[in-house]
Amino acid sequence: MLDVIRSFITNRIHRPSSPGDTSPPEGVRVAASALLLELAHADGEFSSRERDYVEGALARHFGVDEATTTELIELAERARAQAVDQFHFTQLIVEQYDLAQRMLLAEVMWGVILADGRISEHEAYLIRKLGNLLDLEPGYLAAARRAASGET
């Protein structure tokens, strides 16, 4: 998985950091994308609504263009396919993201789950598991779900 991430960083989106650059490290982008895809596939179907949501979220939150978003999704799919579990993805995120960033990621993850209008048992289990691995308390996940669904 690390070779895939390194290749992506080197060949496509490596940018020299500039003062004031607040974009996340590229490896974290791949890890977060892989988690979103893991949730999108959790119910056995990657619907067009889920794909649209993932593409929009990646473009919006990472500030990348359509071509980079597509490549990021392809790379995350390969990394996800090679991964034994989600621990490496979540560990990288925990190391690089603060609590607020992880909470925002949880909101985006809930958005993926809610995009097709239903929550499968496996999706509900997986989001709790990922929340635990991301060191988020259950209350944070509940707040992220409310935010993703537009509830107050």
- Tokens coding 127: 């989001």
- Cα separation, 147 vs 152, in Å, equals 7
Q: Identify the pLDDT of residue 6.
A: 55
First to last CA, the chain: 38
Confidence band of 15 (pLDDT split at 50, 70, 90): very low
Highest mean pLDDT range out of 19-23, 24-28, 108-112? 108-112
Q: Give the pLDDT of residue 9.
A: 46
Choose the weakest-confidence range: 7-11, 103-107, 143-147: 7-11
Identity of residue 47? S
Average pLDDT of the residues in 106-128: 94
Distances (CA, A) of 106 to 12, 85, 91, 103, 111: 26, 18, 15, 5, 9
Average pLDDT over residues 96-119: 94
Write down the residue that tokens 């499968």 correspond to.
120
Round to whole Å and give the CA distance between 2 and 21.
24
> pTM (2 decimals)?
0.82
55: Cα separation from own chain's centroid? 11
How many CB atoms neighbour CB 122 within 10 A? 13
Q: Would the pLDDT of 68 be above 60?
A: yes
The band of 150, judged by pLDDT with boundaries at 50, 70 and 90, is confident
Q: 47 in helix, strand or coil?
A: coil
Rounded CA-CA distance 145/21 in Å is 29
- Tell me, what's the pLDDT at 98? 94
